Amino acid sequence: MKVLVATEKTFAKVAVDGIREVIEQAGYELALLEKYTDKQQLLDAVADADALIIRSDIVDSEVLNAAKQLKIVVRAGAGYDNIDLAAATAHKVVAMNTPGQNSNAVAELALGLMVYAVRNLYNGTSGTELKGKKLGIHAFGNVGRNVARIAQGFGMEVYAYDAYCPDEAMLAANVKPVHSAEELYKICDIVSLHIPATPETKNSINHDLVGLLPKGGILVNTARKEVIDEDGLISLMLERTDLKYMTDIMPAADAKFRELFAGRYFATPKKMGAQTAEANINAGIAAARQIVDFIENGVTKFQVNK
């Protein structure tokens, strides 16, 4: 049984060691394809793989066609918009994610981006504090919950909107539920995005919605770039010179954002919310264990292409 770990953005070495231990203990073989620069390298490497561990690496029908022996692909992380689920199902390949395993890391980065924003990108001028500010969490999943917990430590007043999460779950976390995205953006000084990229959410963070933020509002994105209507956000930030956009996912129009919004726009050069040793260990080892559990016992608990 051959398990391929294919990561264009590598795991910490300690996580790869942990994955190897789980795979080899099961009597399987581990193959590594790291920092690949060409899709052909992935197509070649998957040819004889029975199982595949990926991060944001694209698994489309071309990859699935090349992976003649593949039984399972596990996205070591939360968002699985990089896997063509219908194609996986058509190829009889089980697709899974590892929900929650890297969420603290992403949440810590979201708070880091907030501090960076309110301290004027550390430019030496007098900024403001997070304490007492209203934070809006847009989608209250694993990352959103961790953001709430950490933000409360900063003394923020935390609100959340999530159409799929009952009020009780928010109230239990001392978070104030609101019942529309519009309400959240109207109330909160800072909104942190934690929605997945789906056909419904694509371009949904647009001019009119973000324009509801009060004066000095900040939008923080550690989710996906596809959820942002970039043209809409650019035209809004031209009109509203008080708004800031901080993102861990570089927009397609990064050069334009940088040119137009110096001092109120920041993007990490490479998505790094989940780039911690801890998150890599948690997600990577969970992925390896899920593969062994599936191959040995048929466990499909985290399957996402049912």
Strands (E), the chain: 2-7, 29-34, 51-54, 72-75, 94-97, 134-138, 157-161, 176-177, 190-193, 218-221, 244-247, 265-267
What is the nearest approach in angstroms of ligand 3PG to the Cβ of residue 273?
A: 6
Any contact of residue 78 with ligand 3PG (CB under 6 A)?
A: yes
Say which residue the tokens 């089980």 belong to: 94
- Does 271 bind ligand 3PG (CB under 6 A)? Our answer is yes
CB nearest ligand 3PG: which residue? 77
Rounded to the nearest whole angstrom, what is the least distance from the CB of residue 249 to ligand 3PG in the complex?
Answer: 8
Q: Which stretch binds ligand 3PG (CB under 6 A): 86-94, 159-167, 270-278, 285-293?
A: 270-278
Asked if 58 touches ligand 3PG (CB under 6 A), the answer is no
CB of 7 to ligand 3PG, least distance (A): 8
Q: 33-42 long-range contacts, Cβ below 8 Å, gap at least 24?
A: 33/4, 33/5, 33/6, 33/7, 34/5, 34/7, 34/8, 34/10, 35/7, 35/8, 35/9, 35/10, 36/6, 36/8, 39/63, 42/6, 42/66
Per CB under 6 A, the list member of 51, 52, 55, 145 interacting with ligand 3PG is: 55
Determine whether 26 is exposed, middle or buried from the number of CB atoms within 10 Å of its CB (0-12, 13-18, 19+): middle
For tokens 């561990």, the residue is 53
Rounded to 5°, the CA angle 4-6-11 comes to 110
| Residue nearer to ligand 3PG on the CB measure, 58 or 212 | 58
Q: How far is the CB of 300 from ligand 3PG (least distance, A)?
A: 20
The reply on whether position 240 binds ligand 3PG by CB under 6 A is no
User: Which range in 18-26, 41-49, 73-81, 206-214 contacts ligand 3PG by CB under 6 A?
Assistant: 73-81
146 contacts ligand 3PG (rule: CB under 6 A): no
Q: Which stretch binds ligand 3PG (CB under 6 A): 22-30, 71-79, 152-160, 164-172?
A: 71-79
9 near ligand 3PG, rule: CB under 6 A: yes
Among 5, 49, 56, 287, which residue interacts with ligand 3PG (rule: CB under 6 A)? 56
Count residues near ligand 3PG (CB under 6 A).
10
102/201 with CB nearer ligand 3PG = 102
196 vs 211, which CB is nearer to ligand 3PG?
Answer: 196
Structure tokens at 173: 């976390």
Contact assessment for residue 253 and residue 224, using Cβ atoms and an 8 Å cutoff: no
Query: Which whole-number Å values give the CA distances from 69 to 72, 225, 273, 303, in the listed order?
Result: 9, 33, 32, 18
Least CB distance to ligand 3PG at residue 53 (A): 11
CA 15 to chain centre: 19
Question: Residues in the site for ligand 3PG, rule: CB under 6 A?
Answer: 9, 55-56, 77-79, 102, 271, 273-274
